[in-house]
Amino acid sequence: MTKQPIYVQYYDSPCGELILASVDEELCLCDWNEKPCAERNKRRLENHTSADFKIDTTAVLEQVKQQLDEYFAGIRKTFDIPLHPIGTDFQHQVWNILRHIPYGETRSYKHIAETIGNPKGVRAVAGAIGANGISILIPCHRIIGSNHSLTGYAGGLEAKNKLLKIEKNDCRHNKPPIIT
């Protein structure tokens, strides 16, 4: 029996190289290449789908690259890519909240925990955010500490800072970022 392929491409962003992967014409990975989190997310993806990685392109991967180009150019504020995140029900609940944080705004881990009805679950929320394998499109970079500090990010704090600056600079003509 032939395993289903997971198609892989690489994208050189202004914040570092991303590994992109699709399965069934849905994006299942957009992660910071050669970082420990990306390796963990690739293993989780491979185990969950029983698939083999194959370097090749798909329509969805080309669409992701185009939309990332537009995002980094300050043209695109939302993504309309079909996503296939791999995780637990709790992780999906947290990631769904992340997807609703508006461009140019930030939220705290505490805010996310309160939103899901578990105000004491800040560490669990942080763990779910850390397991996000679809960076930028599921915008975990928009999560900061309650004291407004930049906290951990799979792509590194420098990449997180750049992403927030891209969005803040683009929003400065509209309204300042909201931090809650």
pLDDT of residue 170: 56
In tens, the pLDDT along 59-94 reads 999 999 999 999 999 999 999 999 999 999 999 999
The model's pTM: 0.88
Q: For a pLDDT cut of 90, what percent of the chain falls above it?
A: 68
H/E stretch holding 144 reads strand 143-144
Residues identified as active-site:
140
Cα distances from 76 to residues 19, 70, 80, in angstroms, run: 20, 5, 10
pLDDT at 169 over 50: yes
In tens, the pLDDT along 87-135 reads 999 999 999 999 999 999 999 999 999 999 999 999 999 999 999 999 9
In tens, the pLDDT along 48-57 reads 777 788 999 9
H/E stretch holding 122 reads helix 122-130
